[in-house]
A and B are shown apart, each in its own frame.
Chain A
Amino acid sequence: MARVRLEHVTKRYDDVVAVDDMNVEIEDGEFVCLVGPSGCGKSTTMETIAGLTRPSEGTVYIGDTDVTNLAPKDRGVAMVFQNIALFPHMDVFDNVSFGLRLRTFDDDEVERRVEQAADIVQLEGMLDRMPDEMSGGQRQRVAIARAIVRNPDVFLMDEPLANLDAKLRVHMRTELQRLHRELETTIIYVTHDQAEAMTMSDRIAVINAGELQQIDPPLVCYNEPANLFVAGFIGSPSMNFVRGEVVADGLETKNFTLEFDPAGATGVGVGDDVTLGVRPEDVHLSRNADDLSRPTRGIEVTTDVLEPMGDEIFVYLVLDEGAERTMEEDPLDSPDQLLMSVSPDTDISEDETLEVVLDGSKIHLFDTASGEALVHGIADRSGSDPGTAPTEAED
């Protein structure tokens, strides 16, 4: 087991900066997911930890050792990739034990380790099978067993479940969590699937355009996103965003006004150009909002499309009847629409005019220009609880 630390790591390919001044500290035994859209630099970050890529600048530590210039095999890491790279000419035993003999283990020790790893990933009795005789899930277990036998300080996993079908992926998620509990080893896990990150990790590192946006426990990223990118990336469906301006008694947007006392919200000043963020589950029908501690004033809307999902209904709300009814591709630029999630037994239909409120305690305000979070939760003038300023994201 070991702590992993990146200090000012930058990876540059000529003019392209894949990783930009990354500073991350991952604790011993932690399960950390690196998430972000395709091409954001999360895999390159992991490759610098693995030693597959040498950073242009910066230092990588595993434990207290500077491993920046060490070969992958000398770093005490074991990797599992998206492509289940089992050697087709070797049976499971030989696949799992690959490389062990180089580490000066005798045959008995190799056998003991392979059997122990096979036991952990539930592959007992399959050690003489060839890869083409196994299912996708079994092959991925072999790949994980191959990592386990190395007894690494750190597991590095790059989208290891991406090629499995949806059902198996969910099952393997649970398996990996169990594995982490059992081995108590540091795991760094790359995924573009935020649901995977939310369910498995102790902390999520959200990366965009090569830069670390936030590293925090999943619910902190969800409830207190450091900026607009994290707010939009974490959570499905995505957070609603509405641009507005802070005025003396609240926030003015194109289609509605929220009353709150800017003086009570740290970091927010009159005249600021801000973006309001609110998740679909924090938009409520006024008639069902009695339990909310801090509802905003009512906002008149018209329902557009309903999407029944079984356990909830997504309701597309039109704020401006005169506006064209299309969902904008950029959620940061859809001032005339809101997405609401309601329980499946809600009596609601399309083209219905009704009133909604936002849960003031779940409203986020972001600086529109910089994207940085200004406040999480605002108090309506009638309320007494001011919003909380965001804690500074770890850099």
Chain B
Amino acid sequence: MTTARGDIRTGIVGLGNIGRYHAERLLELDVPLVGGMDVAADARTRFARRYDVDVYDDHHELYDAVDAIIITTPNKYHEEYAVDAFDQGLHVLLEKPLAHSLESAERIASAAADSDGYCMVGFNNRFANTVRIVSDRIERGELGDVSHIEANYVRRRGIPGRGSWFTRRQIAGGGALIDLGVHAIDLSLYLLGDPPIVEVTGVTRGEFGSREEYAYLDMWGDDAGPAGFDVDDSASAFIRTADDQTISLEVAWATNRPENNEFVVRGTESAAVFDLLDGDLSVHSASTAGPDHLEDTSIETRQNDTHTEEQRSFFDSIAAGEVDNESIQQALTVQRVIDGIYRSSETGRTVAIDEE
């Protein structure tokens, strides 16, 4: 049975900055925002005033009034809100990462598999125009066999508020790797065609957030100093797939190098290089037509709002009844990779990823 996007009554769980960001896009897409839930009274008040909707401190009350929810809470609380939504057959757009731990992620995935509700995990970068161009070119065989991706998501000084949930392991499940690495890993696996992962090796570091004299220009949120910081602020990793495709990963909230969010997708026929920060995209190849030569092509496109496109995809899938469990299974693979990198860093060894 199909329905219209405008008939899907939607609520938001977690009414902070990201919750409001999603609310704005719901309005753009004419999806009915019918309510919100947050445990913080001031967040509820602000949300109710701005969007003129009912707000709740108990998610069960919100769930009785909606068909779909968007979960934007801290990572640790994803499970409770998502599982209860699946128990009621609601559709869920779940902000990344899937969960704060692999065990929690597996439970969420099993609940989703047992529910009528559709779940999409919020990997919005997949919807960037540059990514769509590269993905289509891979699909058409223009890059040949893609064998390696250099995946970077590196900030120079960009630790989220020290002392906020982002920098507390118990709530976030990790630092830069789980916050930024989750995007870079997902995008790489997406471009490789979601292959099975064989093993990962990696190192995570906490070199800046734990310093008293941490120098920065801007910080999202307040700075409680090093006492509020017990996670990683950078990670380097190497990921190998069953077909020996590889990903080298660099992520950082803070490091002494210029920031970038650059991906180098290396194929046997050509390579695509794009940076999500500025939308730059170029393609590099070589040819024997005439004298041997190298070819570098710059591609220009419009930058788009990836969160709007992500929401559009989520609601249109529900409206068309075209729902499956691919998104959550792929997010589970990403979570396995993240968990493997943390374990590799702890043990100093390569970690096998068992997807069986």
The one of A18, A51, A85, A98 that contacts B106, using a Cβ cutoff of 8 Å: A85
Say yes or no: is A323 at the interface (Cβ < 8 Å to chain B): no
In the bound complex, CA of A18 to CA of B195 (Å): 13
Write out, one digit per residue, whether chain B residues 115-149 have a CB within 8 A of any chain A CB (1) or not (0).
11000000000000000000000000000000000
Say yes or no: is A68 at the interface (Cβ < 8 Å to chain B): no
Stretch from B82-90, B151-159, B208-216 contacting the other chain: B82-90
Q: Which residues of B contact A18 (CB under 8 A)?
A: 356
Say yes or no: is A134 at the interface (Cβ < 8 Å to chain B): no
Write out, one digit per residue, whether chain B residues 161-201 have a CB within 8 A of any chain A CB (1) or not (0).
00000000000000000000000000000000101100000
B111 touches A98 (CB 8 A): yes
Q: Which residue of A lies closest to B83 (CB)?
A: A87
Q: Which residue of B lies closest to A87 (CB)?
A: B83
Q: Which residues of A contact B58 (CB under 8 A)?
A: none
A89 touches B242 (CB 8 A): no
Write out, one digit per residue, whether chain A residues 69-96 have a CB within 8 A of any chain B CB (1) or not (0).
0011100000101010111111000000
Q: Which residue of B lies closest to A54 (CB)?
A: B324
Q: Which residues of A contact B116 (CB under 8 A)?
A: 73, 102
Q: Which residue of B lies closest to A73 (CB)?
A: B114
Complex interface residues of chain B between 267 and 314 (CB less than 8 A to chain A): none
Say yes or no: is B319 at the interface (Cβ < 8 Å to chain A): no
A73 touches B196 (CB 8 A): no
Q: In whole Å, how far is B9's beta carbon from the nearest beta carbon of chain A?
A: 18
A89 touches B79 (CB 8 A): yes
Q: Which residues of B contact A85 (CB under 8 A)?
A: 103, 106-107, 110
Q: In whole Å, how far is A341's beta carbon from the nearest beta carbon of chain B?
A: 33
Write out, one digit per residue, whether chain A residues 98-110 have a CB within 8 A of any chain B CB (1) or not (0).
1101100000000
Q: In whole Å, how far is B56's beta carbon from the nearest beta carbon of chain A?
A: 17
Q: Which residues of A contact B111 (CB under 8 A)?
A: 87, 98-99
A73 touches B79 (CB 8 A): no
A102 touches B87 (CB 8 A): yes
Q: Which residues of A contact B87 (CB under 8 A)?
A: 98-99, 101-102
Given contacts A87-B83, A102-B87, contact A73 B243 (CB under 8 A): no
Given contacts A87-B111, A89-B79, A99-B87, contact A71 B325 (CB under 8 A): yes
The one of B88, B106, B193, B325 that contacts A14, using a Cβ cutoff of 8 Å: B193
A13 touches B195 (CB 8 A): yes
In the bound complex, CA of A147 to CA of B103 (Å): 19
A73 touches B115 (CB 8 A): yes
A102 touches B115 (CB 8 A): yes
Say yes or no: is A39 at the interface (Cβ < 8 Å to chain B): yes
The one of A39, A81, A89, A99 that contacts B115, using a Cβ cutoff of 8 Å: A99
Q: In whole Å, how far is A81's beta carbon from the nearest beta carbon of chain B?
A: 7
**Total number of A residues with any Cβ neighbor in B under 8 Å:** 29
Q: In whole Å, how far is B245's beta carbon from the nearest beta carbon of chain A?
A: 9
A52 touches B113 (CB 8 A): yes
In the bound complex, CA of A282 to CA of B80 (Å): 57
Say yes or no: is A44 at the interface (Cβ < 8 Å to chain B): yes
Say yes or no: is A368 at the interface (Cβ < 8 Å to chain B): no
In the bound complex, CA of A101 to CA of B86 (Å): 11
In the bound complex, CA of A13 to CA of B241 (Å): 10
Complex interface residues of chain B between 69 and 104 (CB less than 8 A to chain A): 79-80, 83, 86-89, 103
Complex interface residues of chain B between 239 and 270 (CB less than 8 A to chain A): 242-243
Given contacts A81-B110, A99-B114, contact A89 B80 (CB under 8 A): yes
Say yes or no: is A16 at the interface (Cβ < 8 Å to chain B): yes
Work out how many contacts link A and B, with CB atoms closer than 8 A.
70
The one of B88, B113, B242 that contacts A72, using a Cβ cutoff of 8 Å: B113
Say yes or no: is A186 at the interface (Cβ < 8 Å to chain B): no
Q: Which residues of B contact A86 (CB under 8 A)?
A: 107
Q: In whole Å, how far is A347's beta carbon from the nearest beta carbon of chain B?
A: 47
Q: Which residue of B lies closest to A90 (CB)?
A: B83
In the bound complex, CA of A327 to CA of B70 (Å): 60
Q: In whole Å, how far is B174's beta carbon from the nearest beta carbon of chain A?
A: 19
Q: In whole Å, how far is B99's beta carbon from the nearest beta carbon of chain A?
A: 12
Q: Which residues of B contact A15 (CB under 8 A)?
A: 242-243
Q: In whole Å, how far is B64's beta carbon from the nearest beta carbon of chain A?
A: 12
B243 touches A72 (CB 8 A): no
Q: Which residue of A lies closest to B192 (CB)?
A: A14
Complex interface residues of chain A between 25 and 63 (CB less than 8 A to chain B): 38-39, 41-44, 51-52
In the bound complex, CA of A98 to CA of B87 (Å): 6
Q: Which residue of B lies closest to A74 (CB)?
A: B116
B114 touches A72 (CB 8 A): yes
Complex interface residues of chain A between 1 and 24 (CB less than 8 A to chain B): 13-16, 18
Q: In whole Å, how far is B93's beta carbon from the nearest beta carbon of chain A?
A: 19
The one of A16, A43, A52, A101 that contacts B243, using a Cβ cutoff of 8 Å: A16
Q: In whole Å, how far is A38's beta carbon from the nearest beta carbon of chain B?
A: 8
In the bound complex, CA of A272 to CA of B184 (Å): 57
Given contacts A72-B113, A73-B113, A98-B114, contact A16 B88 (CB under 8 A): no
Q: Which residue of B lies closest to A53 (CB)?
A: B329
Complex interface residues of chain B between 311 and 353 (CB less than 8 A to chain A): 324-325, 329
B115 touches A13 (CB 8 A): no
Q: Which residue of A lies closest to B242 (CB)?
A: A16
Q: In whole Å, how far is B268's beta carbon from the nearest beta carbon of chain A?
A: 15
Write out, one digit per residue, whether chain A residues 358-389 have a CB within 8 A of any chain B CB (1) or not (0).
00000000000000000000000000000000
Q: Which residues of B contact A38 (CB under 8 A)?
A: 354, 356
B195 touches A87 (CB 8 A): no
In the bound complex, CA of A12 to CA of B111 (Å): 26
A102 touches B80 (CB 8 A): no
A13 touches B110 (CB 8 A): no
A14 touches B195 (CB 8 A): yes
- Supply 23 A–B pairs (Cβ within 8 Å), ascending by A: A13-B196, A13-B242, A14-B195, A14-B242, A16-B242, A38-B354, A43-B356, A52-B325, A52-B329, A72-B113, A73-B113, A79-B110, A85-B107, A86-B107, A87-B83, A87-B107, A90-B83, A98-B83, A98-B111, A101-B87, A102-B87, A102-B88, A102-B115
Apart from the given pairs A52-B325, A72-B325, A73-B113, 6 other A-B contacts in the complex at a CB distance below 8 Å:
A39-B356, A73-B116, A85-B103, A87-B79, A98-B87, A99-B86
